[in-house]
A and B are shown apart, each in its own frame.
Chain A
Amino acid sequence: MSTITVERKILEKNDIIAGQLREEFNSKGIFVVNPLSSPGAGKTSLIEKLSGCLNKKINISVIVGDLQTDNDAKRIDALGIPVVQIITNGACHLDANLVRDAYKELKGKPELLIIENVGNLVCPAGFDLGEHYKIVLLSTTEGDDKPLKYPVVFRNSSVLLINKTDLLPYVNCSIDTMKKNALSVNPALKIFEISCFTGDGINEFAQWLKDNIHR
């Protein structure tokens, strides 16, 4: 028997494309974030709310992934933001190859590119899309123990947006417990408490984005 040493990462194909995308984004001065969450936690609503704060001052473009429909792209297009919809037909996460193809079609000269991932707290966590930061959204209706149940997505993200704070009086969720659980998995997480419904907290997160765009 002979043993051949291989030592190759199984996701190397994705990582090579992601690296090329990141170089392209850096060369064009585009700051790229990748919001991840369960379905319905508020990724598209976040983009809608951010456009209100930022769009007149910062050029934004969006790539959005869903299994089916272009509902999200229609919502973003209605705001006048250049958007490309990726329909994955069953794939539960975006990968760098899909993003590369979508980026080729994207119009505009963005300073901020938002790559909205497919709603899923598991698989998207493991795929580099060439972004600068992964941002995880967790809503108050989902429960304060989710960072412990899905540690990898919280570990791989740089920002946690706790959304639907307006619903706190009606749900069994402790913000303090949620933050404690999230920080136990990733002590470096930057946490914002927001409501895409009322607009609370959106300006603070928009400021974080602006600070990073101009870095």
Chain B
Amino acid sequence: MHETTVAANIIDIVRNSIPSGDLAKIAAIRLKVGLLANVMKDSLLFSFNSLKENTPFPSAILEINEMPLIIKCLDCEKENTGNDFIFCCPACRSTHIEVTGGDELSISEIIINPD
């Protein structure tokens, strides 16, 4: 996945989520990045750390919460959480599953320093 595009989008969203007077106080930006998002954590950190130099928040840290793949079996209704690309129920071996977690690529929270 295009980590530079993702980093640039993060910066845009942050700029229009926080009042401009508070941007310099941003301490951290928390992300949820699921296994299925196809984003490499180190590459994203590298891209973000390069781009943030030209923003009002050059000291902001990106905190990346890597979210596992969660599948729910539509036959036996068991849920399974893991970090491999397995789309088959480990309990009953059914492939009749739905993905209920692991496709996140979002900004969850922004942490602001006090004045």
Flag whether A187 is at the interface (Cβ < 8 A): yes
Q: Taking the complex as formed, is A211 at the interface, i.e. its CB lies under 8 A from any CB of chain B?
A: no
Q: For this complex, into which size category does the number of interface residues on chain A fall? A: 20 to 34
8 shortest interchain CB distances as A-B pairs? A187-B95, A151-B85, A6-B107, A4-B110, A152-B38, A9-B106, A10-B9, A10-B105
Q: Which residue of B lies closest to A152 (CB)?
A: B38
**Cβ of B77 to closest chain A Cβ, rounded Å:** 17
Name the distance in Å between B65's Cβ and chain A's nearest Cβ: 13
Task: Annotate B77-115 by CB proximity to A: 1 below 8 A, 0 otherwise.
Answer: 000000001011000000111000000011111111110
Query: Of A6, A122, A123, A155, which is within 8 A of B36 by CB?
Result: A155
> Are the CB atoms of A1 and B36 closer together than 8 Å?
no
Whether A5 contacts B109 by the Cβ 8 Å rule is: yes
Which chain B positions have C-beta within 8 A of A106?
none
Between-chain CB contacts (< 8 Å), 20 pairs: A1-B111, A3-B111, A4-B112, A5-B108, A6-B13, A6-B106, A6-B107, A6-B110, A8-B17, A10-B6, A10-B9, A10-B106, A11-B6, A11-B105, A125-B38, A152-B38, A183-B95, A184-B87, A185-B87, A187-B97
> Judging by beta carbons under 8 Å apart, are B1 and A123 in contact?
yes
CA A4 to CA B106, docked complex, whole Å: 14
A13–B38 Cα gap in the complex (Å)?
A: 18
Known: A3-B111, A5-B109. 11 other contacts (CB 8 A): A1-B27, A2-B111, A3-B109, A3-B110, A4-B109, A6-B109, A12-B13, A126-B38, A151-B85, A155-B85, A187-B97
Chain B interface bracket (under 10, 10 to 19, 20 to 34, 35 or more)? 20 to 34
CB distance from B64 to the nearest CB of A (A): 11
Q: Which of B97, B106, B111 has the most CB of A within 10 A?
A: B106
Residue A93 CB within 8 A of the other chain:
yes
- Asked if A67 is at the interface of the complex by the 8 Å CB criterion, the answer is no
Tell me if A8 and B107 are in contact (CB < 8 A). Answer: yes
Interface residue? B37 (CB, 8 A): yes
Q: Which one of B13, B27, B96, B111 lies within 8 Å of A10 (CB-CB)?
A: B13
Cβ of A36 to closest chain B Cβ, rounded Å: 13
The listed residue (A3, A7, A126) touching B37 by CB distance below 8 A is A126
